[in-house]
Amino acid sequence: MVLNRVFSQPPTMHPRSRQDISHKNVEQLFRDGTFQDVVAHRLADSVKIPTITYDGMGHVGKDDRWDVFFQFSEFLEKTFPRVYEELEVETVNEHALLYTWRGTREDVKPLLFMAHSDVVPAGESTTEDWTYPPFSGHYDGEFIWGRGSEDDKSNLIAMLTAIDCLLKCDFTPNRTVIVSVGFDEEGGAEQSYGARCLAEKLLERYGNDGVELIFDEGIASIERRFGTDFALPATAEKGYIDVTVAVSVPGGHSSTPPDHTASTFSSDAPIGKHVTNNETVGFLAQVIRLIEDHPFKSQLVRNNPTLTYLRQAALYSKQMPEDLRQAVLGSQSSKKLLDYMDQDRERRAMIRTSTAVDVIQGGDKVNSLPENASILVNHRIAIQDSVKAVKDYYVKLLSPWAQERSFKLHAFGAEPPYENGTSTPPTNTSDCGDLRLSAHYELESSPVSSAEDSRFALLAGTIKGVFGDDVVVAPEMLTGDLDCPRTNLRVRVLTRPGNTDTRYYWDLSSQIYRMSPWRASHDPRGTRMHTVDERMPIKGLMEMVHFYHEFIRIVDEVRTDEPSVQADHGRNRRESDVAVLPQHGCVK
């Protein structure tokens, strides 16, 4: 494949109006050590409130583990009184928060920020491994320590701090600004009492495609690759499905076991060989081996953001190997490029549906052969695949295995169509055993937000204005470290192989970006989210405040529905499909 997509680097952008705000906040306040300590303590105090969500929590109002979120809401109101006085603050489903900063223009769509107030458990077994207790909110002058300090209370505190600073300058937006705060993002794939309810309210209020753009969390989004710094706004997410594979056979006593057990993994027990035993664990071992020996196909499809990232890396990076550079730019075959992506498991995750056998169950007693055994397999679905493609994969892979053993195959509730041309997968009538396939929590991969859209140019221009003039936009997917030292800053687009709360917001806007806007290099140990010693550097936290402060102002100055209007931000000029809005503001 020749990477011939057209993608232009956007200009560096700075707010053009209200330079008094830039002088007071960006040039003075954000650099003031006393103010930085204030912001640090805001985050530290938020960490001290253990807003933990667990898998399988009961309904809000019935499970008292939710009650700690009342305390967190009170903390926010006490910490940001000006925000609560001047913005509309709504509570949704007890603990979700919806902040609305009304703009003066009703003919432009709102800007939507997302965050979540919940955190993952700290893990009682690891408490002693923490440098400081996980909910101490310790601030040592350089880092704020504790669970949630990075994921995701840092983003929330930075957003509200930026808004508070703008309010203090009597800034009045043209465009309505919304902050939507969920409270169970960490609570498991099927659980959503927060973001889902918020999204429903916003859809009812603004309608399909009623929001200009959506900005949600990601990882620390400035990192080093090929001797160059890249910023990482995610423009898509992989899909998700859990598949249970269950084997059932008649049981028996362990004193007279079958000839073959879990040793079926050995080379003298070929997968395709008919085995006349009734040992579920042995059968399940064969199934696991089949699944792991037949991974999904790696593909670089055209709508994968990784393609744009690779092209921009080839054009602008300092240390990309020349043969890889030529492969990316199309002077060599695409096989070399695909081989490069396949060499590393994190890069490979960007171009392939992943497979992970995570849970295995079977057997109740040491002297009793299990009648039932099962595995739970997690798949993160690549852009080129689908939920149906994953189900078809299992039917095609396991049907021959079941037929050779005279097992009945029960696949996904007999959902059509399958390769045999019928509305049901192949089945057998023997009583030798059953092979059952079932799916849990099905989510297609997200829509891909275009990096060629003017709204992405606003985001990238803001990133360049905050983090450095040398920023180059280079879309890509999230996981995969490309192993290089750090200098100039580049922006890339990425896909993260997980799922954020944005999955409920897809209908609100075609442009959804996911990133945490700070330099990962501020913490030499790298991100610690979801593990021991999670912490947030104060330098990174202030970068987040700076970014949200500027992004609100820049998006407020433009509209994206009037093409061929020239926008002039900072020292760069370009033809752009944005139009300048009038500013309403404070008296100096």
Instruction: With a cut of 90, say whether residue 15 has pLDDT above it.
Output: yes
Q: What is the CA radius of gyration of the chain?
A: 26
Taking the C-alpha atoms of residue 53 and residue 497, their distance in angstroms, rounded to an integer, is: 21
What pLDDT is recorded for position 376? 96
Q: How confident is the model at residue 585 (pLDDT cuts 50, 70, 90)?
A: very low
Q: Tell me the mean pLDDT in the region 484-488.
A: 34
Asked whether the predicted pLDDT for residue 190 surpasses 70, the reply is no
- What local confidence, expressed as pLDDT, does residue 431 receive? 60
Cβ contacts of 183 within 8 Å, gap of 6 or more: 51, 53, 66, 69, 95, 96, 116, 117, 118, 193, 194
Q: What is the pLDDT of residue 484?
A: 32
The mean pLDDT of 106-135, rounded to a whole number, is 93
Distance CA 561, CA 541 (A): 33
Distance, in Å, from the CA atom of 354 to the CA atom of 345, rounded to the nearest integer, reads 10
Q: Which residues are annotated as a binding site?
A: 116, 151, 186, 216, 530
Distance CA 523, CA 532 (A): 14
Q: Band of the pLDDT at 562, cuts 50, 70, 90?
A: low
Mean pLDDT confidence for 446-470 = 92
Q: How confident is the model at residue 581 (pLDDT cuts 50, 70, 90)?
A: very low
Max CA separation in the chain (angstroms): 90
pLDDT tens for residues 169-181? 999 999 999 999 9
Distance in angstroms (rounded) separating the CA atoms of residues 370 and 364: 7
Instruction: Judge contact between 60 and 146, C-beta under 8 A.
Output: no
Phi, psi angle pair for 269, to nearest 5°: -125, 80
Whether residue 229 has pLDDT greater than 60: yes
Q: How far apart are CA 51 and CA 116, in angstroms?
A: 10
Residues labelled as active-site residues: 118, 185
Tell me which H or E stretch contains 265: none
* Token pair belonging to 244: 């249970």
Residue 222 is predicted with a pLDDT of 84
* Cα dihedral 38/44/50/52 (nearest 10): 100
Averaged pLDDT of the chain: 84
Q: What is the pLDDT of residue 127?
A: 83
Lowest mean pLDDT among 221-230, 363-372, 546-555: 363-372
> Which of these ranges, 63-72, 104-113, 444-453, has the smallest mean pLDDT?
444-453
Strand ranges inside 386-534, DSSP E: 408-411, 434-443, 489-491, 494-496, 512-519
Are 95 and 60 in contact by the 8 Å Cβ rule? The answer is yes
Residues 6+ apart with CB under 8 A from 175: 103, 105, 108, 109, 110, 111, 212, 555, 556, 581
Q: Give 476 or 571, the one with higher predicted confidence.
A: 476
Residue 445 banded pLDDT, cuts 50, 70, 90: very high
Strands 111-116 and 213-225: parallel
Share above pLDDT 90 across residues of the chain, in percent, rounded to a whole number: 61
The helix (run of H) or strand (run of E) holding residue 442 is: strand 434-443
Write the pLDDT tens digit of every residue in 256-293: 455 543 333 333 444 444 444 457 888 899 999 999 99
481 has a pLDDT exceeding 50: no
69-95 pLDDT, tens per residue?
A: 999 999 999 999 999 999 999 999 999
Beta-sheet pairing, 177-182 with 111-116: parallel
* Stretch 440-454: mean pLDDT: 92
pLDDT for 192: 84
Say what the pLDDT of residue 280 is. 81
**Domains defined along the chain, listed by start:** 19-219+501-557 (3.40.630.10), 239-297+352-443 (3.30.70.360)
Residue 7: pLDDT band by 50, 70, 90 thresholds? Answer: low
Q: Report which secondary-structure segment, H or E, holds 282.
A: helix 280-293
Confidence check: pLDDT of 555 > 80: yes
| Confidence (pLDDT) at 567 | 41
**pLDDT reading at 234 higher than 60:** yes
Tokens 């400081």: give the residue: 132
Q: Who contacts 343 (Cβ-Cβ below 8 Å, separation ≥6)? A: none
- pLDDT at residue number 6: 54
Output DSSP code: residue 52: B
DSSP reduced 3-state for 239:
strand
> Which has the closest alpha carbon to 205: 81, 92, 323?
92
User: CA 460 from chain center: how many Å?
Assistant: 19
- Amino acid present at 526: G
With cut-offs at 50, 70 and 90, classify the pLDDT of residue 478: low
Give the model's pLDDT for residue 266.
Answer: 37
Please count the other Cβ atoms lying within 10 Å of the Cβ belonging to residue 174.
Answer: 19
Residue with tokens 């508070």: 164
**Among the listed residues 208, 207, 108, the one whose alpha carbon sits nearest the alpha carbon of residue 559:** 108
Specify the range with the lowest mean pLDDT, choosing from 39-43, 315-319, 491-495, 497-501: 491-495
pLDDT at 331 over 70: no
pLDDT band at 493 (very low <50, low <70, confident <90, very high): low
Comparing 587 with 244, the larger pLDDT belongs to 244
In contact, 30 and 478? CB cutoff 8 Å = no
Q: Are strands 239-248 and 234-237 parallel, antiparallel or unpaired?
A: unpaired
**Secondary structure string (H, E, C) spanning 86-149:** HCEEEEECCCEEEEEECCCCCCCCCEEEEEECCECCCCHHHHHHCCCCCCCCCECCCEEECCCC
Whether the per-residue pLDDT at 144 is higher than 90: the answer is yes
**Sequence-distant contacts of 256-262: CB under 8 A, at least 24 apart:** 257/369, 258/282, 258/369, 261/285
What's the rounded Cα separation, in Å, for the pair 375 and 506? 32
Give the model's pLDDT for residue 243.
97
- CA 470 distance to own-chain centroid: 26
pLDDT at 258: 52
> Binding site membership for Zn(2+): which residues?
116, 151, 186, 216, 530
Give the model's pLDDT for residue 365.
76
Query: Which residue matches tokens 């601030």?
Result: 139
| Cα–Cα–Cα angle for 529, 484, 530, rounded to 5 degrees | 5
